[in-house]
Amino acid sequence: MVTGLLPELSLPHPMLTDWVSRGVSAAIRALFKQAERLEARVRAEPIAKLLQGRIDSFELVGQNLQMYNGLRLSLLELFCNAVAIDFSQIWQGRIKLRQPVQARMRVVLSEADLARSFNTPFVLNKLAQVDQGGKPLSFHQVEVHLTPEQRLRLQAEVQPGGEKPLQVGFSARIEVLERRRICLADPLFEGDTEEGRALSRALVDHLNALLDLDRLALQGSKLRLDRVCLQPHQMILYGSAALVRFPTR
């Protein structure tokens, strides 16, 4: 059962609003490679507003989503008011915004989501760009855990060039800086050798540079975070999304 910040919406004309909601859902579903559940709902009063492309409120609930780069979300909730769209393009599977949209969002990442995401080719290639004396790096068997102390712990095997593999790892608190950067703060480093610990420090610096929401957002969107909460086996992000145009993957 999904609970969160989304209000229950009473639809004044189920047939037409359901029709529009299905069209919007299909356009949003195309942004994801897989979606166990993705449901959009719109409300407009009077119903004639819909024919003009004006929507009083919009909500989206998605569960077990996989993006095309392999990243996974357990839950995505999004809610906004006063949306204006080009109504004629919905049935062609496209959404064209007639004005910018500001939406509230809640995202839930499970421990399993984080582990799978860190082991995708997309993220492994990003990790391999850690600057460590110019040596080519290869990351394997990345493990991610959320500890009872509300810290994120990462461990991995790293092979520098053709050398012997190193064990690297760290645990860190999660902070939000300037609403747009996720920061690994107060890191505690792990590693079976001094070289492994040095690589762990370089890895934290590299991740802190990567975790900039302006670099991660889909085209046409700007993401901002208010807070990140770590709970047993899941990370919850609260924030907002500003859409100048409907995102593309």
* Four-CA torsion 190, 193, 195, 199, nearest 10 degrees: -20
- Quick: pLDDT tens for 135-144: 788 999 999 9
Identify the pLDDT of residue 6.
Answer: 39
- How far CA 125 is from CA of 119, 157, 169, in Å, comes to 10, 14, 17
pTM: 0.85
Mean of the per-residue pLDDT values of the chain: 86
- Quick: pLDDT tens for 118-137: 999 999 999 999 977 777 88
Question: Is it the case that residue 219 has pLDDT exceeding 80?
Answer: no
CB 182 within 8 A of CB 148: no
Instruction: Please state the rounded mean pLDDT for residues 32-53.
Output: 86
Instruction: Please state the rounded mean pLDDT for residues 222-229.
Output: 94
68-82, 85-99, 149-163, 202-216: least confident range = 85-99
Identify the pLDDT of residue 132.
Answer: 75
